[in-house]
């Protein structure tokens, strides 16, 4: 009798475990996109990516890849060859986590405006849109790049201004837009913009850059109301 009860309990536990395992698997399959799972049809070239996919820690691995990317871009020695591997770094980040939207926006901004590698920037955004069709900010970047290719300065300035309205915009975008203003707007307009970045930006690097640019504009003595800028910088 005791043995029969033990067998009954063991079988009950087995069936319960099987039921909950199947239910959990179905829920994961329904809630996660198809790319989330390890698939033999894909060409996984990095061991850490395979491990990350198998263990369900894609986001963690992509964060590590992102840190490596920042180290690469922050190393001035890599500028000697024009950061030739930069697209590859961002491509790998978004292979392991295709929903890493900031990697698309940041990477494409560097490629399009800092390195003038428009084709790679466009390719990166197209990948981002394919995996994140509802993250429509990517379309702002695509439009800005297309206007840039056509030489439509007003067009891509407008789209970059729109992108800047979102809190998750890359800090680099603030500096890119300010540099464009200095080339295409009056010194007073550019100074007013940099003053706004200096006083309101949440990015330390942007504030420091804005401060430096304001000093340069003051030294050039092209401002009609320099007292306003001096007061801001005090």
29 domain residue, yes or no: no
186 domain residue, yes or no: yes
20 domain residue, yes or no: no
Return the residue matching tokens 């939207």: 101
> Among 2-16, 156-170, 174-188, where is mean pLDDT lowest?
2-16
107 domain residue, yes or no: yes
Predicted confidence (pLDDT) per residue in 3-62, tens digit: 666 765 666 765 666 555 555 444 444 444 455 555 544 555 676 777 777 677 788 888
> 71 lies in which domain range?
58-233
221: left (phi over 0), alpha (psi -120 to 50) or beta: left
23 domain residue, yes or no: no
Of 161, 220, 222, nearest in space to 196 by CA? 161
Q: Taking a C-beta distance cutoff of 8 angstroms, is the pair 220, 204 a contact?
A: no
Predicted confidence (pLDDT) per residue in 137-154, tens digit: 888 888 888 877 777 888
Q: Domain total for the chain?
A: 1
228 domain residue, yes or no: yes
Neighbours of 101 (CB within 10 A): 17
User: CA 204 to CA 206: how far, in whole Å?
Assistant: 5
115 domain residue, yes or no: yes
pTM score, whole prediction: 0.63
145-175: burial string, b at 16+ Cβ within 10 Å, e else:
bebbeeeeeeebbebbeebbeeeebbbbbbb
CATH number at residue 222: 1.25.40
81 domain residue, yes or no: yes
């Amino acid at each position: 009798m005791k043995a029969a009860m033990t067998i009954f309990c063991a079988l009950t536990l087995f069936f319960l475990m099987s039921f909950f395992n199947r239910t959990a698997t179905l829920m994961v399959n329904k809630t996660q996109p198809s790319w989330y799972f390890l698939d033999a049809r894909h060409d996984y070239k990095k061991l850490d990516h395979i491990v990350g996919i198998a263990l369900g820690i894609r986001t963690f691995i992509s964060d590590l890849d992102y840190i490596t990317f920042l180290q690469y871009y922050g190393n001035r020695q890599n500028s000697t060859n024009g950061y030739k591997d930069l697209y590859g770094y961002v491509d790998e980040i978004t292979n392991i986590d295709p929903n890493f939207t900031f990697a698309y926006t940041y990477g494409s901004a560097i490629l399009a405006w800092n390195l003038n590698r428009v084709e790679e920037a466009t390719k990166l955004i197209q990948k981002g849109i394919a995996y994140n069709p509802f993250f429509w900010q990517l379309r702002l970047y695509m439009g800005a790049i297309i206007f840039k290719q056509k030489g439509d300065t007003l067009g891509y300035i407008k789209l970059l201004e729109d992108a800047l309205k979102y809190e998750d915009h890359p800090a680099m975008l603030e500096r890119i837009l300010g540099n464009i203003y200095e080339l295409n707007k009056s010194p007073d307009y550019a100074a007013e913009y940099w003053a706004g970045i200096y006083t309101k930006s949440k990015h330390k690097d942007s504030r420091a850059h804005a401060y430096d640019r304001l000093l340069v504009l003051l030294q050039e003595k092209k401002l009609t109301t320099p007292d306003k800028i001096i007061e801001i910088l005090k």
